[in-house]
Amino acid sequence: MDDYENESLPVGEAQVAEAMQTLQRYKAGKAALDKRIVDNELWFRMGHWKNYQNPMMPGKAQPSSGWLFNSIANKHADAMDNYPEPNVLPRSADDEDTARALSSVLPVVLEQADYEQVYSDCWWRKLKTGTGVTGIFWDPAMRGGIGDIAVRSVNLLMLYWEPGAADIQASPDFFSLSLEDTAQLSARYPQLRGRTASVLDVPRYIHDEGQDTSTKSVVVDWYYKRPDASGRMVLHYCKFCNGVVLYASQNDPALAERGLYDHGQYPFVFDPLFVEEDSPAGFGYIDVMKDCQTAIDKMNHAMDENVLLSAKQRYVLSDTAGVNEEELADFSRDIVHVVGRLNDDSFRPLQTAGLQGNSLSYRQSRIEELKEISGNRDMTQGGTAGGVTAASAIAALQEAGSKLSRDMLKSAYRAFAKQCYLIIELMRQFYDEQRVFRIVGESGENRFVPFSAQALRAVPGGSVGGVELGSREPVFDIVVSAAKKSTFSRLSQNETAKECYQLGFFKPENADAALAALDMMDFEGIEKVRQRVRQNGTLAQQLAQLQDQMVRMAAVIEMQGSGQSDADGLTRSVSSAFTQKNGQAAATKLAGLGSALPVAAAARAMDLH
C-alpha cells in the first residue's frame, strides 16, 4: 500500500488535489440542477410545502393533492408495461451465429444483473428529476471472483461533468460520488487511516427523520480521458477519499497503457426526458406541472378553510351584551346565561359565505389543465366520456392518447441500446473463460448455450496477393422491442393473427396472394408471418412436384412391366392416390398436412404470454 503514497506514481496526492479543484468547479456549474433535483423529490413525496412559508396562516394545515403523483405513477406503469428486449443483428454474414447467440445471452445477462429493478428505478428518477442514469460496470468480485457485468441505476445528484457539455463523453473528466462508512473504508484501505476528516460535501435529499452523516466519508470515483502516445483517447479511473488515492488505473501496471475499459467510454448512459440545450441532463414532468399543482393546492386550502368556517357557528358579540362567553363556546351546555337584554346590535350570528359555483369550476379547470399538460387524461386510464362504452372504442381511444408514452419509450429504448452496446464491449474484454447460459428455446424448452469473448474478438482478415488484410472485429446492430407488453397490445396482436388465419393467409395454396397482402400491411412481427407464409408456399410447391414425379414414375413402371400384376397394382394405387379427390389414404394424408400448416403458423404468430 505504500506504493500509492509514492509521489513518483502517475497519480498521487498532487493529481488528486487538481481533480478536487476540477470537481469544485463542476459542482458550482451544477448547483442549480442539484437544487431542482432536491425540490422535485419533495414534490414527488407531496412534501413541497416544506419549502414554502405562508405568514398569513401560520400553524394551519397545508393540503397537497395527489394529481401530480398520479400522473407520474401512471407514466411509470406505462414504462413497465413495455419492458425492453434486445435483438442483436450482424453487419456481416460471418457474424450471424454470434449475433444469434448474443440475442439469447444478453437477456440472461440483464436478468442476472437484476435489470428489471434497475429499469424501474431509472424510470422513477427520469420522471422525477428529468434524467435517468444507468451505470454499466465490470465487477471483478462477482461470481466468486470470476467477475461479471453489473448494471446499476445511478443517482444524478451524485454525478458531475464539465458545465456546458451536451454529452458526458465530451467531458474531459467525470465524477461519481458516494457516501460510505469511514470505519469500513479504513479497514479496507489501510492508507486511509488517520485521514478520516471529510474534505468534501455533497448535496442531500430532505428527509423527515434526518440523516446523520458524521460517520461517513465522501468517496470519489474519478473517470478521465487522456490521449496515449498514438493519440488514442484512453479511459482511466481513480478512486480517492479525503485526498488519499485508494486505487488508480494508471498506477496499475496491467492498465497503465490499456486503460480501464477498452471501449474508452464513460460507463454511464444518460436518458433525459425533455432535452435541455448544452446539458446531458433534462427536465421532467414535475418541472412542468408544479405551478399548476401549486394553484390547485392553494385552492384546496382555501376551500377547506371555507367549509370548516361554514360548518362551525360563530357570533358577533358586543362587550355590553352580557353573554357568558365560556358557556356560549361550550357546545355541551344546554343553557347560556345572559345579563340584561339581548338585541341584534350586541349579539348576532356571523354568516360565512359558501363556495360559489364559479370557484369550483375554476378549480376543476386547473385540474383538467394539469391532466392536459401531463398527457394523463382520463381515456389513458380507461375512463370515457360522451357515452363511449364499446371495448374496441375504449381501446382505440387509449391507443390514440398514448402517443406521449410512446415517445418517452422511444428515447428509453435508444438509451437501452447504448447500454447493450456497452455490455457487449465488456463481454468482449472480460469474458475470457467460457460461460454457460440457460435460455428458453422457441418451443419453450431449456437450452444451455456456451459463450465466451472469443466469438467477439477480432479475427484475421486473410490475405490477398500476399498482402495481409489485417483483422476484423465483429460489429452488431441492436434493435429494441417490448418484451412485456400491455394487455391491449397482446390482444391486438392476437386479433391480427386470428384475422390472418381466418382469411386463409397460412393456407399453402394462398401463399402468393397472402404475400401480396402482407406487403401492404404493417404490424409488429410481420417478418415472422411473411417467413412462415413463404415456407408454407414452398412446401406446397414441393408437394405438387412430388405428386407429378410419382405419377410419372407410375407411368414408367406400367410401361416397363405391363404384364406383371404387381406393377399393375402399384400403378393403380399410385395413380389413384393422386388423381382421386376422396376416399384414398394418400390423398387424406396430404390434405391433413395442408390443413395443419396454417394452424401451426397461426399459433406461432399469436402472443399468449
Burial of 214 (0-12, 13-18, 19+ CB in 10 A): exposed
The reply to whether 357 falls in a domain is yes
Q: Do residue 605 and residue 514 come from a single domain?
A: yes
Same-domain pairing of 592 and 495: yes
Looking at 361, 392, 423, which one is the last position of a domain?
392
| Alpha carbons 606 and 85: distance in angstroms, whole number | 18
**Same structural domain for residues 216 and 306?**
no
User: Per DSSP, what are the bridge partners of residue 310?
Assistant: none
CB atoms near residue 554 (< 10 Å) = 20
Please tell me the predicted confidence (pLDDT) of residue 236. 96
Give the three cell numbers for residue 393: 372504442
Torsion of CA 318, 319, 321, 324, to 10 degrees: 110
Shared domain for 318 and 369, answered yes or no, is yes
Query: Of the candidates 284, 287, 295, 308, which has an alpha carbon nearest to the alpha carbon of residue 52?
Result: 295
* 366 falls within a domain: yes
The number of folded domains in the chain is: 3
Report whether pLDDT(79) > 50. Answer: yes
Residue that wins the pLDDT comparison between 321 and 275:
275
Kindly state whether residue 131 falls inside one of the protein's structural domains. Answer: no
Q: What is the pLDDT of residues 245-281, one digit of tens each?
A: 999 999 999 999 999 999 999 999 999 999 999 999 9
Asked whether residue 295 falls in the same domain as residue 381, the answer is yes
Residue 238 shares a structural domain with residue 310: no
Whether residue 344 lies inside any domain: the answer is: yes
Q: Are residues 245 and 322 in the same domain?
A: no
**Burial class of residue 149, CB neighbours in 10 A (0-12, 13-18, 19+):** buried
User: Mind listing the pLDDT tens digit for each residue in 536-586?
Assistant: 877 777 777 788 888 888 888 878 766 555 545 544 554 454 444 444 444
Query: Average pLDDT, stretch 10-24?
Result: 92
Contacts of 416 by beta carbon, 8 Å cutoff, 6+ apart = 84, 86, 480
Choosing from 230, 253, 276, the residue where a domain stops is 253
Q: Which three cell numbers stand for residue 231?
A: 493519440
The predicted structure's pLDDT at residue 114: 95
pLDDT value at 179 more than 60: yes
Q: Which of 176, 159, 84 is nearest to 123 (CA)?
A: 84
Same domain? 495 vs 562: yes
Q: Is the same domain home to 249 and 293?
A: no
Same domain, 541 and 597: yes
Q: At what angle do helices 585-605 and 526-560 cross, to 10 degrees?
A: 170
Q: What CA dihedral angle connects 448, 454, 456 and 459, to 10 degrees?
A: -140
Q: Do you know the residue count of the chain? A: 609
| Cα distance between residue 359 and residue 404, in whole Å | 31
Task: Specify if 596 maps to a domain.
Answer: yes
Whether 20 maps to a domain, the answer reads: yes
Residues 6+ apart with CB under 8 A from 539: 508, 597
Q: How sure is the predictor about 441, in pLDDT bands with cuts at 50, 70 and 90? A: confident
Enumerate residues 6+ apart whose C-beta is below 8 A from 14: 7
Instruction: Identify which of 59-63, 81-85, 464-468, 484-488 has the greatest average pLDDT.
Output: 81-85
Domain edge (last residue) among 376, 392, 408? 392
Rounded Cα distance between 259 and 230, Å, is 14
**The dihedral formed by the CA atoms of 391, 392, 398 and 399, expressed in degrees to the nearest 10:** 160
Task: Using DSSP bridges, classify how beta strands 459-460 and 148-154 pair: parallel, antiparallel or unpaired.
Answer: unpaired
Q: For residue 572, give its domain range.
A: 486-609
Say whether both 292 and 245 belong to one domain: no
What confidence tens digit (pLDDT) does each residue in 326-367 have?
A: 877 777 888 878 887 777 767 777 777 777 888 888 888 888
Q: Which residues contact 324 (CB under 8 A, 6 or more apart)?
A: 336, 337, 338
Please check whether residue 571 lies inside any domain of the structure.
Answer: yes
Q: Can you tell me the distance from the alpha carbon of 259 to that of 232, in angstroms, rounded to the nearest whole number?
A: 11
> Which residue would you say has higher pLDDT here, 538 or 464?
538
Inside any domain, residue 68: no
- 295 lies in the same domain as 385: yes
